Amino acid sequence: MARTVAGEKLPSTRTLVADHSASPLTVQRVVQRLAREGLVETRPGAGNFVARPRATRQADFGWQTTALGAARSGAESIAELLAPASPGAIAMSSGYPSDELLPVRLVRSAIVRASRSAAVFDRAPLAGLPELRTWFASELAPVGSFATVPVADDDVVVMPGGQSALAAIFRSLASPGDAVVMESPTYWGAMAAARHAGLRIVPIARGATAPSAADLDDAIGSSGARLFYAQPNFANPTGAQWSAAERSEILAVVRARGTYLVEDDWAHDFGIDTDISTLAAEDEDGHVVYIRSLSKSVSPSIRVGAVVARGPALARIQVDRTVDDLYVSGMLQAVALDVVTDPLWRSHTARLRSQLRSRRDELARQVRAHLGPDALSFIPAGGLNLWVRLPDGTDPRVFTRRARDQGVLVTPGTEWFPAEPTGSFIRLNYSGARPERFEGAVQVLAGLLE
């Protein structure tokens, strides 16, 4: 076809068919596609014409700066932390286990069964499927010698994942401008959710395993905080676990001060050397608001979790949950319930414990061999991460970018401190990359330090 100019009329369909030996249907489809792409303009009764270029204008979004005001949370750092791994990279920054550590067959079978059930179309109850709430309540029974406080099904509200639960709790139990006490370092997602709710974070130092009861008491008293967010078991990022004495002392402070302890039990299914006992199962008067998610242990696509709370706090959280999303997908709840009540779920979690142990120990061995014995202060008894200290003066953000350029993805420790970092740290996840790649990854990190 000869070169055309804007506004020029194209040959008729009959002419194009004859000139190019094409079928009328083919010509029509080509013209329709060009019209969809804005290259051809069709005028009924007149024919087809070469489209004229449309005048473009740069949008002006400057007015939104004044309208929106200051941002509550940093979208840039969140996007960087959640960025997918590039092909071939050794991903030790992910917060989720690899597929080989997940109950893939159980999930696939559960999806098939759920797709054939009424859950596909029925609206789920506002608080969640009764059978799933019963399961979450039964899981809070503590292991060991801690006192047992029965948890009722009515104390459970199903949530679309742990992050959503955090946001709902912070919005429901505090008001913008209120203080929330947090350990330092702590989970970046909790800090982001608190700031997005307009809360002011009051950091307290974490000791070897937990903050001191005296520091917690001082922080609550001086700030007037009504919330204390913590991860007593295998804290993210450090992997620390509170001792029985520390649990008792911290609960005593929370009760005396009349505050809520938000217990984030994110690693419930990732115990390695010890089992998990929840503070919620030791609390009678509703001071502990408990969070558990299945997204890491079942599948990242199954965004299902739960909040356990008692008294008026539960009612407020339920209202927030209903206003925000009405209810959690009944289909996803049915899949989650099918997986965790399958007889093979227990054998899967037992096998997972063994797999995590071998991965943790191998990564710790490589870190100590190539980064030095002081790089790890302790080996966590569970969880998914090692908290690695770099030589003083190392900028974790610069170090992380250089590692990424070398094909190794790690997380800078600066993102996990609600106050100024107390050292140079990175977090290494041992559940994402395959263990045979650990040595090569740590050698790259060691080379960057040299």
SS (H, E, C) the chain: CCCCCCCCECCCHHHHHHHHCCCHHHHHHHHHHHHHCCCEEEECCCEEEECCCCCCCCCCCCHHHHHHCCCCCCHHHHHHHCCCCCCCCEECCCCCCCHHHCCHHHHHHHHHHHHCCHHHCCCCCCCCCHHHHHHHHHCCCCCCCCCCCCCCHHHEEEECCHHHHHHHHHHHHCCCCCEEEEEECCCHHHHHHHHHCCCEEEEEECCCCCCCHHHHHHHHHHHCCCEEEECCCCCCCCCCCCCHHHHHHHHHHHHHHCCEEEEECCCCCCECCCCCCCHHHHCCCCCEEEEEECCCCCCCCCCCEEEECCCHHHHHHHHHHHHHHCCCCHHHHHHHHHHHCCCHHHHHHHHHHHHHHHHHHHHHHHHHHHHCHHHCCCCCCECCEEEEECCCCCCHHHHHHHHHHCCEECEEHHHHCCCCCCCCEEEEECCCCCHHHHHHHHHHHHHHHC
**Torsion angle of C-alpha atoms 162, 164, 170, 171, degrees rounded to 10:** -160
Nearest CA-CA partner of 230 in 241, 243, 219: 241
Q: Which residue segments constitute the domains of the chain, with CATH numbers given?
A: 13-50 (no CATH), 75-95+346-449 (3.90.1150.10), 103-342 (3.40.640.10)
Question: Model's pTM, two decimal places?
Answer: 0.82
Give tens-digit pLDDT for 162-179: 999 999 999 999 999 999
Do residues 416 and 237 make contact, with C-beta atoms less than 8 angstroms apart? yes
Nearest CA-CA partner of 139 in 402, 341, 333: 341
Chain CA centroid to CA 359, Å: 21
Confidence at residue 288, expressed as pLDDT on a 0 to 100 scale: 96
Vertex 372 angle, CA 367 and 374, to 5°: 100
Sorted by sequence, the CB contacts under 8 Å of residue 321 that are 6+ apart come out as 126, 157, 159, 168
**Torsion angle of C-alpha atoms 442, 444, 445, 450, degrees rounded to 10:** 130
Per-residue pLDDT of the chain (450 residues; tens, 9 = 90+): 456 777 788 888 888 888 888 888 888 888 888 888 888 888 887 888 888 877 666 778 777 777 877 776 655 555 555 666 666 788 888 888 999 999 999 999 999 999 898 888 888 888 899 999 999 999 886 544 444 667 888 899 999 999 999 999 999 999 999 999 999 999 999 999 999 999 999 999 988 889 999 999 999 999 999 999 999 999 999 999 999 999 999 999 999 999 999 999 999 999 999 988 899 988 888 999 999 999 999 999 999 999 999 999 999 999 988 888 888 888 999 999 999 999 999 999 999 999 999 999 999 999 999 999 999 999 999 999 999 999 999 999 999 999 999 999 999 999 899 988 889 999 999 998 999 999 999 999 999 998
